């Protein structure tokens, strides 16, 4: 057995050996130590917000030359860009790798806009850029920082085997002809993808409860995977009422901005699928939290996405890393030509490969961005909510 003197001698020898080993590993050969050292001194120095069409592209710059990109979506672009520039006051001089701290700092910075769409959509673009910088510092795709990939590819729609049928505003209750028109579109979608394919129906919050109940009963033979946005969020009692009459699963959360907004729907059992949007919820950080919350209710993630390939890349990183995932929305036509280069692709079967390279895995052509920024901006003020009698309906 060791006595005290022998024990101290052994510990001293081991310490000396460890010190020698540490000194033998140079900074160049020790990436972890190298990144930690770099990250401790890196600071945010500049934010550029560039409106293009109905999107705003954010660029965060640092004192060490590492930049990150993010996208603000589904807001009036001029106002969103101004808000982002104003919020830079909270980011200037901060360490960009403190992502959760900065998310909370911005989200809780103003009690009267906390949780609102302008704050959270803008924060989503900032959050994406912070993750982009952090992934680049570590030299890995973001999903590696989220626990690694839980799947090898991500199913997307529309594709040859997955399609969605939508609806605009309808009267309070449908006539047989009106119901039959929607039934025929769903029937056609089922024939197109076949018995092994997926058909989804998007109610767009535009079908009053009686109309949706009528329609859901009529389309039972076509095995609709889910009803998207069955009602306008806010009054959960409407969702409960619909759930009593409709067997088709509900996809909720497209307009949800926080974990607190989807929780009541999960608790009430009216959220079968969580269809939140990375660009609506506060970015990668919040989307990951929502997916984890939904997992406790066995509700899979099926992200909504009407963004360019930049925010789509951000959403793919989360989709690749979470436990429960169903399918992801994706429209390549939204991305302006030659604006960005992504490191993933969609195969013939409708599966997206995982983003490669550090950070988001999506690079912006800044010269092309400058060209597009010169074009007139036309905000989206939809007139699709007009009913035949001239009144305004939800959409």
Lowest mean pLDDT among 49-63, 133-147, 173-187, 283-297: 173-187
Residues 205 and 89 in one domain: no
The proportion of the chain whose per-residue pLDDT surpasses 90, expressed as a percent, equals 77
The pLDDT score that the predictor gives to residue 25 is: 46
Q: How far apart are CA 109 and CA 256, in angstroms?
A: 20
Residue 373 placed within a domain: no
pLDDT surpassing 90 at residue 161 = yes
Give the rounded distance of the alpha carbon of 115 from its chain centre: 16
Alpha helices in 159-232 (DSSP H): 176-193, 209-218
Say yes or no: 132 and 164 in one domain.
no
For the chain, percent of residues with pLDDT exceeding 70:
89
Domain of 200 in residue numbering reads as 145-360
What are the Cα distances from residue 255, in Å, to 90, 205, 213, 277, 327? 26, 10, 22, 8, 18
Query: Same structural domain for residues 156 and 238?
Result: yes
pLDDT at 392 > cutoff 90: no
Choose between 18 and 268: higher pLDDT.
268
Residue 217 phi/psi, 5° resolution?
-70, -35
Statement to judge: residues 188 and 234 lie in one domain:
yes
Q: How does residue 382 score in pLDDT terms, banded at 50, 70 and 90?
A: low
Contact assessment for residue 94 and residue 103, using Cβ atoms and an 8 Å cutoff: no
In a domain, 75, yes or no: yes
Q: What is the mean pLDDT of residues 134-159?
A: 97
- CATH at residue 288: 3.20.20.120
Is position 93 within any domain? yes
Q: Are strands 328-329 and 153-157 parallel, antiparallel or unpaired?
A: parallel
Per-residue pLDDT reduced to its tens digit, 326-342: 999 999 999 999 999 99
Q: Which residues of 255-268 are buried (b: 16+ CB within 10 A; e: fewer)?
A: bbbbbebbbebbee
Q: What is the count of structural domains for the chain?
A: 2
Residues 154, 125 share a domain: no
pLDDT on residue 173: 74
| pLDDT at site 4 | 54
**Is residue 121 located within the same domain as residue 176?**
no
DSSP 277: B
């Amino acid at each position: 057995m060791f006595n005290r003197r022998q024990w101290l001698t052994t510990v001293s020898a081991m310490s000396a050996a460890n010190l020698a080993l540490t000194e033998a590993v140079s900074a160049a050969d020790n990436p972890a130590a190298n990144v930690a050292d770099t990250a401790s001194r890196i600071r945010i120095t500049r934010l550029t917000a560039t409106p293009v069409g109905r999107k705003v592209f954010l660029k965060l710059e640092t004192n060490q030359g590492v930049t990150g990109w993010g996208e603000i979506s589904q807001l009036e672009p001029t106002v969103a860009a101004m808000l982002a520039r104003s919020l830079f006051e909270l980011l200037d001089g901060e360490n960009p790798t403190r992502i959760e701290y900065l998310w909370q700092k911005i989200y809780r910075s103003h009690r009267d806009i906390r949780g609102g769409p302008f704050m959270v959509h803008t924060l989503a673009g900032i959050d994406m850029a912070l993750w982009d910088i952090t992934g680049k510092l570590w030299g890995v795709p973001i999903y590696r920082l989220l626990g690694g990939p839980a799947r090898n590819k991500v199913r997307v729609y529309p594709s040859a085997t997955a399609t969605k049928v939508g609806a605009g505003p309808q009267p309070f209750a449908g006539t047989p002809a009106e119901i039959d028109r929607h039934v025929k579109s769903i029937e056609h979608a089922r024939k197109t993808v076949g018995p092994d394919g997926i058909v989804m129906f998007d109610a767009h919050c535009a079908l009053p409860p009686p109309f949706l109940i009528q329609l859901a009963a009529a389309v039972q033979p076509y095995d609709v995977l889910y009803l998207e946005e069955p009602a306008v969020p806010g009054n959960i009692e409407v969702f409960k009422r619909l759930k009593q009459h409709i067997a088709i699963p509900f996809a909720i959360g497209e307009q949800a901005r926080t974990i607190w907004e989807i929780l009541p729907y999960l608790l009430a059992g009216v959220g079968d699928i969580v269809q939140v949007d990375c660009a609506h919820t506060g970015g990668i950080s919040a989307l990951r939290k929502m997916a984890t919350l939904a997992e406790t209710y066995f509700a899979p993630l099926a992200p909504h996405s009407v963004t360019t390939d930049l925010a789509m890349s951000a959403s793919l990183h989360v989709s690749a890393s979470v436990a429960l995932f169903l399918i992801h929305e994706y429209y390549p036509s939204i991305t302006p030509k030659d604006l960005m280069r992504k490191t993933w692709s969609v195969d013939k079967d409708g599966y997206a490969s995982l983003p490669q390279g550090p950070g988001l895995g999506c690079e912006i052509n800044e010269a092309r961005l400058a060209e597009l920024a010169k074009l007139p901006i036309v905000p989206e003020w939809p007139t699709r909510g007009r009913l035949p009698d001239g009144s305004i309906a939800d959409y």
